Amino acid sequence: MVTPEEHEDGGSVPGLDTPEPDDFVLQASDLTKSFGSVAALRGATLELRAGEVLGVVGDNGAGKSTLIKTLSGVVAPDRGTIFFAGELVHFSSPRAARSLGIETVYQDLALCEHLTVARNLYLGRELTRHGLPWLDDRRMARSAEQFLERLGIVAVPGDAVVRNLSGGQRQAVAVAKAVAFSPRVLILDEPTAALGVREVEQVLDLVRRVRADGVGVILITHRMQDLFEVCDRLLIMYEGTDIARLTTKNTTLEEIVYYIDGGSGREHQRAGSITSAS
């Protein structure tokens, strides 16, 4: 497939310009996955550089969540390869992906509702009282708050129980929890879907900070504004495959919608410059 980005970047020929694998922190090719008779992924390909935000967009059911689940070890692809920092990897579990520095915040958040913000942030590496076997909740709450503040997340008390937080606060805590592990790749599946305006800004700010630290970020979103605000590049999924790659600053909403719709229809005329879908 020739993408508009390739045309603008000098008309490179697909197949001849395959970059060296180590240009990318993540490079996945030909990912294929069926659930029974449903083909969720049909040979999808994705590349991610360190220090960039890649927006992944597509209609409901296009395979976005399944794609990132193959990258985070939740779903084993039926076919395809994943390179992490130039090395071929096979993730047998989410733990295997996390051990390489791939942190994921899933669409259905995985926070422990009955625990405090601090306990969630410290889950699995809780602080204890100096040399004693019991947990130091005050110290965890204090340092959780300091950590959240450094990330620009204010007004979330470390000792608050997660089920009492607003949707936006929970989302911010979930992202902060992933960031706390100093990932090399941060994957966010619809982190702004249910958020108010200010909360969205908080999450997007966090994405910018993480990118500035050299982390590669994959952001799945249905909100077009998010794409234009923080994404450097876009990967558009359609029926289980990557139908287009676009550079955000060189594209338009019409072009994105054209590809989300599968690269045909009336948007084609309006988008004008699009001649390269194949």
Ligand X SMILES: Nc1ncnc2c1ncn2[C@@H]1O[C@H](COP(=O)(O)OP(=O)(O)OP(=O)(O)O)[C@@H](O)[C@H]1O
Query: Which residues sit at the interface with Mg ion, rule CB under 5 A?
Result: 64-65
**CA–CA distance, 264 with 257 (Å, rounded to integer):** 10
Q: Minimal distance in Å, beta carbon 189 to ligand X? A: 7
**CA–CA distance, 241 with 278 (Å, rounded to integer):** 12
Which does residue 181 touch among Mg ion, ligand X, none (CB within 5 to 8 A, set by kind)? Answer: none
Closest by Cα among 183, 202, 157 to 51: 183
Structure-token match 């699995």, residue found: 124
What track of x and - describes contact with ligand X for positions 18 through 37 (by CB under 6 A)? Answer: -----------------x--
Where do the DSSP E strands lie in 24-167?
Answer: 26-35, 38-48, 53-57, 79-84, 87-89, 102-105
Return the number of other C-beta atoms located less than 10 Å from residue 20's C-beta.
8
Which does residue 196 touch among ligand X, Mg ion, none (CB within 5 to 8 A, set by kind)? Answer: none
Which does residue 48 touch among Mg ion, ligand X, none (CB within 5 to 8 A, set by kind)? Answer: none
Among 9, 14, 19, 38, binds ligand X (CB under 6 A): 38
Which does residue 58 touch among ligand X, Mg ion, none (CB within 5 to 8 A, set by kind)? Answer: ligand X
Q: Does residue 153 interact with ligand X by CB under 6 A? A: no
Among 63, 77, 168, 191, binds ligand X (CB under 6 A): 63
Which does residue 191 touch among ligand X, Mg ion, none (CB within 5 to 8 A, set by kind)? Answer: none
Among 9, 14, 17, 61, binds ligand X (CB under 6 A): 61
Bridge partner list, 236: 57, 244
**CA–CA distance, 78 with 211 (Å, rounded to integer):** 31
Q: Minimal distance in Å, beta carbon 38 to ligand X? A: 5
Axis crossing angle, helix 197-212 with helix 167-179, rounded to the nearest 10: 10
Pairing of strands 53-57, 185-189: unpaired
Among 65, 72, 104, 221, binds ligand X (CB under 6 A): 65
For ligand X, which stretch binds (CB under 6 A), given 53-61, 109-117, 132-140, 174-182?
Answer: 53-61
Q: Does residue 40 interact with ligand X by CB under 6 A? A: yes
- Specify the DSSP class assigned to residue 12: P
The contact set with ligand X (CB under 6 A) reads 35, 38, 40, 58, 60-66, 107
